[in-house]
Amino acid sequence: MPRREARAAAATSDAERIAALRLIRSENVGPVTFRELLKHYGSADAALADLPELSRRGGHRKPIRVCPRDEAEAELERARRCGALVLIVGEAQYPPALAALDVPPPLLYIKGDVGLLQRPTIAIVGARQCSAAGAKLARQFASEIGRGGFVIASGLARGIDCAAHAAAIDTGTVAVLAGGLDIVYPPEHEELQRTIAERGCLVTEMPFGFTPRGQDFPRRNRIVSGLSLGVIIVEAARRSGSLVTARLAAEQGREVFAVPGHPLDPRAEGTNKLLKSGATLVTEPEDVLSALVPLTRPPPRQLREDPAPQPQMPPPSLSTEERDLVVAALGPAPIDIDSLVRSTGLTTRSVQIALMELALAGRIERHGGGLVSLGALDP
């Protein structure tokens, strides 16, 4: 009996994972819409059944594409063949720091030591065309912070990222990729990526075979900062992807540290600007450790736990007039949900449902900080 029960539980887990993957891969379902669907329906399977009707209510002009079951099964099977683990948000092994975000990535592909994702992490990022001194600093920070008990996360880019990963191989490093686990970018990091897969941990939200595009690197950066308690910027030009990571870290409530540089060095212009904007100045690893070690102490034990909120399912249907009020309140400028509630006079849940339907119809755009705007191609 216990064996039959274990097999049944495993089958249920697989079925839920396939349903979640189908939902993630369906048309117009991004991280925010995925979260809202699960919140309102309670399960991916229940949400899948209603996707066509929800998109129709939102104004989709043709039937929405729902990911077929066989496609999801094939994607999971490819991951298994390649030795990768697939984690859906809410599963026990999903990184707790990332799960605590308002909108965590719905799915992660993992290769390597998944246990590293449960440990306190600090990110180190910086210029691709870094100086020799910058690379030396990155190695020093990564090595000493790693010996202090932290995992080092970065984006496997050239320059500072590469130096930080290499220095933290022995103590624990996580590389977040902008493409699939089988895609090496940049190409010269093939050996480093293979080493991290064997001795560290590779993470991505992209499927196997996916080659990264320009817009995928900010998505990667939000995972780098989301995994971490804080982000250290070592050399960053005025217009730098590292500054994007710093901004995302601040939005996520993470600590932002910056190593100052010479005022005449263009590679230090971004880091010096961060310091003027309120980032914490650091010149040695101990500066970071003294700030973040207290955050790793376990919280006081609670006497009781509040019961988990029960999902509300299914969401109530909105009238055409209510939906039109939300559309009329939207425009090309991003706006927050509270402002939409005040403008329309509708309840927060009604506005959220309307936005979910409009998102599935492809009529709105999601922005950082919970902001939304009317899509450029709104019919």
- Quick one: 291 and 361 in the same domain? no
pLDDT tens, 1-55?
Answer: 343 333 333 434 678 889 999 999 999 999 999 999 998 888 899 999 999 999 9
pLDDT tens, 283-308?
Answer: 999 999 999 988 876 644 444 444 44
Average pLDDT over residues 79-98: 92
**Residue at 94 is within a domain:** no
pLDDT tens, 326-350?
Answer: 999 999 999 999 999 999 999 998 9
> Under a CB-based contact definition with an 8 Å cutoff, are residues 23 and 44 in contact?
yes
| Residue 141 tokens, joined | 């920070």
SS3 265: coil
pLDDT tens, 198-244?
Answer: 999 999 999 999 999 988 999 999 999 999 999 999 999 888 889 99
Separation CA 198–CA 210 (nearest Å): 21
**Residue at 284 is within a domain:** yes
Residue 376 confidence (pLDDT):
62
> Under a CB-based contact definition with an 8 Å cutoff, are residues 79 and 379 in contact?
no
**Residue at 92 is within a domain:** no
**Residue at 21 is within a domain:** yes
Residue 239 confidence (pLDDT):
84
Strand order in the sheet with 107-112: 85-88, 107-112, 201-204, 173-176, 151-154, 121-126, 230-234, 255-259, 280-281
Residue 3 confidence (pLDDT):
38
Average pLDDT over residues 116-132: 95
Residue 5 confidence (pLDDT):
34
Residue 8 confidence (pLDDT):
36
- Quick one: 200 and 261 in the same domain? yes
The CATH number covering residue 153 comes to: 3.40.50.450
Residue 15 confidence (pLDDT):
86
Residue 244 confidence (pLDDT):
93
Q: Which of 295, 328, 344 is the last residue of a domain?
A: 295
SS3 281: strand
> Does the pLDDT at position 252 exceed 60?
yes
- Quick one: 346 and 212 in the same domain? no
- Quick one: 270 and 333 in the same domain? no
Domain count, the chain: 3
- Quick one: 255 and 326 in the same domain? no
- Quick one: 144 and 222 in the same domain? yes
**Residue at 229 is within a domain:** yes
- The structure tokens 């977040």 sit at 176
**Residue at 97 is within a domain:** no
Residue 217 confidence (pLDDT):
93
- Quick one: 18 and 140 in the same domain? no
The CATH number covering residue 332 comes to: 1.10.10.10
pLDDT tens, 264-281?
Answer: 889 899 999 999 999 999
Least confident of 14-23, 100-109, 135-144, 366-375: 366-375
- Quick one: 278 and 324 in the same domain? no
Residue 377 confidence (pLDDT):
52
pTM for this one?
Answer: 0.85
Domain residues for 246?
111-295
**Residue at 99 is within a domain:** no
* Share above pLDDT 90 across residues of the chain, in percent, rounded to a whole number: 70
Name the residue with higher pLDDT: 310 or 168.
Answer: 168
Residue 238 confidence (pLDDT):
85
Q: Calculate the alpha carbon distances from 352 to 35, 47, 287, 359 in Å.
A: 11, 15, 42, 10
- Quick one: 154 and 212 in the same domain? yes
- Quick one: 170 and 288 in the same domain? yes
Residue 313 confidence (pLDDT):
54
- Quick one: 206 and 116 in the same domain? yes
- Quick one: 122 and 207 in the same domain? yes
